[in-house]
Amino acid sequence: GAVVSQHPSRVICKSGTSVKIECRSLDFQATTMFWYRQFPKQSLMLMATSNEGSKATYEQGVEKDKFLINHASLTLSTLTVTSAHPEDSSFYICSATFMGGNTEAFFGQGTRLTVV
């Protein structure tokens, strides 16, 4: 089956620093990747959609300069949280779909970010 790997699974960083989260499709070419954010005891909120080689499309209310998304290859997308603050602490999950696939997306394991 299609596997999506997300790294790191947990990260703690100091306020003001930047953190990069990687999302890789291990056995398929991901034409589209999605980034979600999940607050404690809440649902997953879509942050942005990225297609390989083009700029990400951000959902309303998501700061583009705060959450930098790069989808440079068909197997890798990265989310960089810039100048992180404690309110950015959350669970971030990526997913990927591929051309010719059905409508199912494949999810990474998630990254728990804690900003101190």
Partner 1 sequence: GDSVTQMEGPVTLSEEAFLTINCTYTATGYPSLFWYVQYPGEGLQLLLKATKADDKGSNKGFEATYRKETTSFHLEKGSVQVSDSAVYFCALSDRNTGGFKTIFGAGTRLFVKA
**Binding residues for partner 1 restricted to 72-91, rule: CB under 8 A:** none
- Looking at 18-26, 72-80, 82-90, 105-113, which segment touches partner 1 (CB under 8 A)? 105-113
C-alpha–C-alpha distance, residues 67 and 63, integer Å? 6
Q: Are 3 and 25 in contact (CB under 8 A)?
A: yes
Q: Does 46 bind partner 1 (CB under 8 A)?
A: yes
Is residue 57 involved in binding partner 1 (CB under 8 A)?
yes
Paired tokens of 32? 């589209």
Residue 107 lies near partner 1 (rule: CB under 8 A): yes
How near is the Cβ of 86 to partner 1 at its closest, in Å? 20
Rounded to whole angstroms, how far apart are CA atoms 84 and 63? Answer: 12
- Asked if 108 interacts with partner 1 (CB under 8 A), we say yes
Token pair recorded at residue 12: 């703690």
